[in-house]
Chains A and B, each alone.
Chain A
Amino acid sequence: QVQLQQSGTELVKPASSVKISCKASGYTFTSNYMHWIRQQPGNGLEWIGWIYPGNGNTKYNQKFDGKATLTADKSSSTAYMQLSSLTSEDSAVYFCAREDGTYYYPYGWFAYWGQGTLVTVSS
């Protein structure tokens, strides 16, 4: 069965960077877009961007351009998101989510989600 296992809670200092991971299993990692979504405390969901592990193509929400960098390692079926120049505003739970569909016909919704990674930015 499809599983997305995210890395653990991070406590990081302002102005630093953090890299969180999402290890996929139960399907062909290179065949589906992987998305990242942010949920700030008590708030709703914000789409950060996607990566297609098959070719490394990425697309970002303009709001997160320069903040988030998405990568993928095909050999370990793991997607990564690096967040840079962290501020308290970046404190949130970050989810990876697998998009249904194919490379040329993505559906844009998510049947499979990671469990979430809490990032807390504090000095």
Chain B
Amino acid sequence: DIQMTQSPASLSASLEEIVTITCQASQDIGNWLAWYQQKPGKSPQLLIYGATSLADGVPSRFSGSRSGTQYSLKISRLQVEDIGIYYCQQASSAPLTFGSGTKLEIK
């Protein structure tokens, strides 16, 4: 199985700050990576797919990048509504696997 190592586990940042979350894949997954945001009691929401493409309706302050097998989600100017838990997910091969999540809070 492909392991997705996500960091940090939690993050506290100020409004308007730049936030970066990373995922390291245990093997090559190409651009087969997605990022989700989950708020308490809700379903995950797709933010980024194909490692770098913004999902419909997602604010442009979210962006995704890739360097080899390391993937990053960047929030350029943190807003209050961005609090939640963020997950990466590899879609390269079954079983599909998720990172362990990053809990983002406002400082």
How many of A's residues come within 8 Å of B, CB to CB?
21
In the complex formed, the residue of A with least CB distance to B49 is A109
- Contact of A44 with B99 in the complex, beta carbons under 8 Å: yes
- Contact of B92 with A108 in the complex, beta carbons under 8 Å: yes
Q: Name the B residues within 8 Å of A115 (CB-CB).
A: 43
Is A53 interfacial (CB 8 A cutoff)?
Answer: no
Q: How far is the CB of B91 from chain A (nearest CB, A)?
A: 3
Of the four ranges (under 10, 10 to 19, 20 to 34, 35 or more), the interface on chain B belongs to 20 to 34
CB-CB contacts below 8 Å: B30-62 with A: 32, 34, 43-46, 49-50, 55-56
In the complex formed, the residue of A with least CB distance to B94 is A59
Q: Name the A residues within 8 Å of B49 (CB-CB).
A: 100, 107, 109, 111
Q: Name the A residues within 8 Å of B100 (CB-CB).
A: 44
- Most chain B beta-carbon contacts within 10 A, residue among A46, A109, A113, A116: A109
CB-CB contacts below 8 Å: B78-107 with A: 87, 89, 91-92, 94-101
Please name 12 further chain A to chain B contacts, defined as beta carbons within 8 Å, in addition to the given A45-B89, A110-B44, sorted by A numbering.
A45-B101, A47-B96, A61-B94, A61-B95, A63-B95, A107-B50, A108-B91, A109-B34, A109-B46, A109-B49, A113-B43, A115-B43
Residues of A with Cβ closer than 8 Å to B? 35, 44-47, 59, 61-63, 95, 97, 100, 107-111, 113-116
